[in-house]
Structure 1
């Protein structure tokens, strides 16, 4: 074979190899760039989700605190047979708690929504107990009234306990990876 042809063939093979190598390199770089963008988006979404959850949990804990204070005031008023009726503040606090509950449910994870539902049910039970105690006040059923006062106090203790549990679970949820729940 002529040396000129060999040089031309070698040049052509080198050129094709160079173009192929450049194309492969470009594909690898593009895939790496896409992965980097995807990873950054995942990180940013996780940060946003954590912030959303933190705000929802904080609001709910503040709502539980308000319910606790209102239950305490209502139980105290009923137990002391005070003239005033502290139930209006309790009704308002429970209404706010319900609104905050939806924030927790939408922020997730599921176990936090379930815990918020349980806390809301306990707040509702406390309201019913306080109302029953209020209605029994001044009646001839002093034993029933005393039992209802005890039950109202137990309701407050359950609200306190669920508040502590919610705070612990919220801290755990916020310290875990956002997509685990």
Structure 2
């Protein structure tokens, strides 16, 4: 009986050892599987991050290149055709259209980032749009001033100057003839009956000349005022273009730094 009890106890302890060993082995296997799964997930995550970074870099590169292409297009238009203003006309405005494309591509950069590149791109696009607005202002000033001044010069000032010149030349000829005849006859000028009429014609010619001079002075004042206003607008345009050079450098430096980065920064 005693031997049976000992045998049963030994069997129980043996079974318990087997169960404990099995549990320990199962836990070890579970832990190993868990570590393997975590390693796999980390590899997948790392690869996804690399793929996303590569995709983002490619998207940014395309966006930056597209933006610079629109920028170059604007500069070509400015160099070849100047700065055509809008002035509300229905006709095509190549610079305004190119500036619109530049603004659209700047908005894409704003989505892709990073913020520093996006800010510089927006400032460049705004600078080109300011060129269009400034040119429009200059065109409107010119269209409201020059045609009117030209018409006044053609229809008023030029005829007044011609009439004054003709009147002065006619009065001078009459006076010269009167003096020559007076010298030949030794008769004083004041005794010649034509003297009074000639003096009246001289006064009339002087009056016509004074009226013409007033026209010329008014034309000069108007044109001087136009030139002064145009100079202010042109200076505004020059300041805008000078500031744009610094913005372009900032955009280029930020874009290069972004594209050279191993891990692209967030938008």
Q: Please say which structure displays the higher CA radius of gyration.
A: 2
TM-score where L is the length of structure 1: 0.80
Instruction: Find 1:135's aligned residue among 121, 137, 140.
Output: 140
Deviation (angstroms), 1:126:
0.9
Residue segments in structure 1 that go unaligned for 5+ positions in a row: 79-86
Q: Answer yes or no: is the 8 Å Cα contact 1:116–1:166 preserved in 2.
A: yes
CA distance in 2, matches of 1:145, 1:121: 22
Task: Please name the residue that 2:168 is paired with.
Answer: none
Indicate whether 1:122 and 2:122 are aligned. Answer: no
Task: Please name the residue that 2:265 is paired with.
Answer: 179
Task: Please name the residue that 1:81 is paired with.
Answer: none
CA distance in 2, matches of 1:10, 1:135: 100
CA distance in 2, matches of 1:120, 1:9: 79
Task: Please name the residue that 1:83 is paired with.
Answer: none
Instruction: Find 1:102's aligned residue among 85, 89, 107.
Output: 107
Q: Answer yes or no: is the 8 Å Cα contact 1:56–1:104 preserved in 2.
A: yes
Task: Please name the residue that 2:36 is paired with.
Answer: 29
Task: Please name the residue that 2:56 is paired with.
Answer: 49
TM-score where L is the length of structure 2: 0.57
CA distance in 1, matches of 2:74, 2:243: 12
Task: Please name the residue that 1:72 is paired with.
Answer: 79
Residue 179 of structure 1: SS of its match in structure 2?
coil
Residue segments in structure 2 that go unaligned for 5+ positions in a row: 1-5, 86-91, 147-222
Task: Please name the residue that 1:146 is paired with.
Answer: 231
Task: Please name the residue that 1:9 is paired with.
Answer: 16
Cα distance change on mapping 1:5 and 1:63 into 2, 3 Å:
same
Q: Answer yes or no: is the 8 Å Cα contact 2:83–2:131 preserved in 1.
A: no
Query: Considering only aligned residues, what root-mean-square deviation do their CA atoms show, in Å?
Result: 2.6
